[in-house]
Every structure is written in C-alpha cells, then in structure tokens.
Amino acid sequence: MSKNEISPINQNFLESVSEVLAQARKKAKSAVNLAMVYAYYEIGRMIVEEEQHGQNRAAYGKQILQELSKYLTEKFGKGFSVANLKNIRQFYRVYSTDQISETVFSQFENLPAVSTGRKFYLSWSHYLKLMRMDNMDERHFYEIESVKNDWSLTEMKRQYNSSLYERIALSTDKDKAYRLALEGQKVETAKDAVKDPYVLEFLGLKELPEYSESELESRIIDNLQKFLLELGTGFAFIGRQVRFTFDEEHFMVDLVFYNRLLRCFVLFDLKIGELKHQDIGQMQMYVHYYDRKVKLPDENSTIGIVLCRDKNNAVVEMTLPEDNTQIFASKYETVLPSKEALQKLLEEQLSDENGDEDDETAI
C-alpha cells in the first residue's frame, strides 16, 4: 500500500462506535420513561391527598379529575384523559403500600440499593399491567423478573399469560415458592431450572392436526429466542441433533443447551406421545455420556429433560432412583394453560402442605 492510499476502516471499530450510540439512546429513552413513572407516582399522591380534602369525597374526586384533565390537556396535549388520571391515582394507591426490599434490585447491574422510598425500574406500561395483578406476591415476582431479565412489556405479558409464577411455584417446594415473591426465580439446583409444564404456544402447533418429533424440533429452532425465554435464566444454545459415538454406534441428542448459572449442560429429548420408561433410560445414557466424556472437571453434572406431550408420574418415579437430581420429565403445552386452574392447583398444594405441617405439629 502506498503512502497516499487510505487503509480501510476496521468494521469492528465502526460497529463499536455504533453500539455506544445505540446504548446511549436506549439509556436516554429509559431515563425519560422512568422520569415519567416517578412523575405519575407524585401526581397520584397529589390527587389522592387533594380528594381527601373534600367533604363529599366521591363527587369532589370526580370534579378534580375532570378539571385536572382539561387543564393538563390544554397545557401538555394528549395523555391526560380522566381514564388515564384514574390509572395514575390507582398507581399511587397500589405502590404507596407495596414495598420490595431494595437489596433484591441491588444485585442487578447498575441498580444501586437505597434505604428509603419506593424505587421504580420499569416503564409506565409495565406498571399499568403490574398494578392490575391482585396477588401481591405474584406482582412482586413479575416486577423482579422483568428487571432482572430486561423483559419488554410484550415478554412480561407473555410470561404472565403462560402462568410462569404458578408453574414455577408448582414445580418447587413450599419454602422456595414463598421466595419467588421476595427474590424472583433463583437457579441454584438442577430442579430450579426445570418447569412442568413448558408452554410452547408460540410454536403454532395447535393448528396442526398432527406433527412429528422432527417438526416439533424444527419449530423450536425457528423460534429459538422465544424458547430460550421460556427456558428461563442462564440458558445458551449449543446445538440440535448433536451426535456422539461409542462402540461404533451413533446417537443423537435432540437439543443441547448450557446453563451458565448452574455451569452444566442441559439435554432435551423430544417426545410427541406418552412418555415410556425406555425414553427415560435413553436420557440416562445421554447424561452419563456427557458427564464422563464431554463436561470439564470443574463443571457440574449434566441435566437431562425429556419433554413429552403426556406422562405418567408413577412410571417416572419408578424408573428413576429416589435420590435423582439429574433426570427430569416435563410435559409441554401447545396452548396457553388456564391461569385460573393453575392458581387453584397452587392454592390446593400450599393448603395440603400447611395441613401436613399441622399434623406433624400435633404429633
């Protein structure tokens, strides 16, 4: 290259500069949205306190909202209808008495702990959805998980509609279920990373009269980002139909992931019918191979999950050892489950566990 020739600009340099600007714009937008959340909280407080001054509070409150709506609309434009002001008032009523320990949020990047005052970390649209959740424990769970996983409003709604809170609570013991409202989902053991059922409505399989295991796998790959969201925190995709060989025989693992929190491989075998004990035995072989031939010495034991359309819990229990901590069988649903049915099931489970405790105490 001669002295007068200009060397080509490094593409990584261009992309790095672009990323800095993109992040800055994202943060600026987030800061504006967050400022409006705090403003609405303060406006809600002012409305509630002003309403309390009226002798006929119901009539006075209605008059306040109407006059305030007219005044703010003339001054600032759209966004201050009576209906929106009612939402702002309700936002203050809910969150003025709804506290979450700030030490929970302090574990997330760039979120400092504070000692006083209610802190907000999500957009106004998030809180409009959250404040309509009557169950405070459930509301706390979705707020914590939205902050922790940087869920968009669409993602948070999808997790709520798929009853994530109830599904995780039903898949764990009572003490951990209570922790969901205090800390969100904690992935500390293999069982913490497993759901039952998995909800795969985004695959669009309910529209098909029948489908094969290869079709199920292909739909998951086509919707990998959504499937990772359904799996939960810490999962990274490794590959599909991952082959290994021993004794001159070839085997294929349908889907292989790695969980960086648990520091272990997570294997999925897909079954479109009823789970058989042979399916569990096959997964045990896959897990043993990964533990002995693939994982590094400082990595944790491999997890195997057989994802099936239907299962008999008795078959699962009799096939697996009593101290099993690696092999799991979970159902998958191709439509959103009934939230009411799952809530009722969760209430019954907690009630049964409380009853067991009472019996032990009596003894």
140, 47: one domain: yes
pLDDT of residue 84: 93
153, 207: one domain: no
Q: What is the DSSP letter of 267?
A: E
93, 229: one domain: no
Whether the per-residue pLDDT at 360 is higher than 50: the answer is: no
User: 298 to each of 192, 263, 291, how far by Cα in Å?
Assistant: 20, 9, 11
Whether the per-residue pLDDT at 138 is higher than 50: the answer is: yes
Whether the per-residue pLDDT at 192 is higher than 60: the answer is: yes
Q: What is the DSSP letter of 191?
A: G
pLDDT of residue 4: 59
CATH of the domain at 216: 3.40.1350.10
Contact (CB, 8 A) for 217 and 260 = no
Task: Look at residue 13 and tell me if it is in a domain.
Answer: no
Task: Look at residue 1 and tell me if it is in a domain.
Answer: no
Q: Look up tokens 């489950």; give the residue.
A: 337
pLDDT of residue 216: 93
Contact (CB, 8 A) for 200 and 227 = yes
pLDDT of residue 7: 61
**Residue ranges making up the domain that contains 92:** 20-167
157, 208: one domain: no
Which carries the bigger pLDDT value, residue 155 or residue 186?
155
Whether the per-residue pLDDT at 237 is higher than 60: the answer is: yes
Contact (CB, 8 A) for 301 and 265 = no
33, 109: one domain: yes
Task: Look at residue 218 and tell me if it is in a domain.
Answer: yes
30, 121: one domain: yes
SS3 of 224-258: HHHHHHHHCCCEEEEEEEEEEEECCEEEEEEEEEE
Mean pLDDT over each residue of the chain, to the nearest integer: 84
Question: What's the pLDDT band for 188 if we cut at 50, 70, 90?
Answer: confident
46, 145: one domain: yes
Task: Look at residue 259 and tell me if it is in a domain.
Answer: yes
Domain boundary among 167, 185, 208: 167
207, 146: one domain: no
pLDDT of residue 109: 56
Which tokens is 40 given?
């609405």
Which carries the bigger pLDDT value, residue 105 or residue 321?
321
Whether the per-residue pLDDT at 208 is higher than 80: the answer is: no
Question: What's the pLDDT band for 361 if we cut at 50, 70, 90?
Answer: very low
SS3 33: helix
33, 163: one domain: yes
Question: Cis ω on the peptide bond leading into residue 197 (within 30° of 0)?
Answer: yes
The number of distinct structural domains making up the chain is 2
- H-run or E-run covering 36: helix 11-51
Which carries the bigger pLDDT value, residue 190 or residue 104?
190
Contact (CB, 8 A) for 304 and 327 = yes
Per-residue model confidence as pLDDT tens digits over 109-122:
555 444 446 789 89
Which carries the bigger pLDDT value, residue 186 or residue 193?
193
Which carries the bigger pLDDT value, residue 313 or residue 113?
313
Task: Look at residue 89 and tell me if it is in a domain.
Answer: yes
Mean pLDDT on 250-276: 94
Task: Look at residue 204 and tell me if it is in a domain.
Answer: yes
Q: Give the separation between CA 150 and CA 166, rounded to whole angstroms.
A: 21
pLDDT of residue 115: 41
Question: What's the pLDDT band for 150 if we cut at 50, 70, 90?
Answer: confident
Which carries the bigger pLDDT value, residue 263 or residue 168?
263
Question: What's the pLDDT band for 359 if we cut at 50, 70, 90?
Answer: very low
User: 341 to each of 158, 301, 333, 338, 348, how far by Cα in Å?
Assistant: 17, 35, 14, 5, 11
Task: Look at residue 188 and tell me if it is in a domain.
Answer: no
pLDDT of residue 355: 56
Amino acid letter, residue 88: I
Which carries the bigger pLDDT value, residue 298 or residue 358?
298
pTM as predicted: 0.71
Task: Look at residue 86 and tell me if it is in a domain.
Answer: yes
Residues in contact with 245: Cβ distance below 8 Å, sequence separation at least 6, in sequence order: 251
Domain boundary among 167, 190, 224: 167
Question: What's the pLDDT band for 362 if we cut at 50, 70, 90?
Answer: very low
211, 140: one domain: no
124, 215: one domain: no
Query: Across the strands, what pairs with 333?
Result: 199
Which tokens is 52 given?
């309390």
Contact (CB, 8 A) for 170 and 349 = yes
160, 60: one domain: yes
Question: What's the pLDDT band for 363 if we cut at 50, 70, 90?
Answer: very low
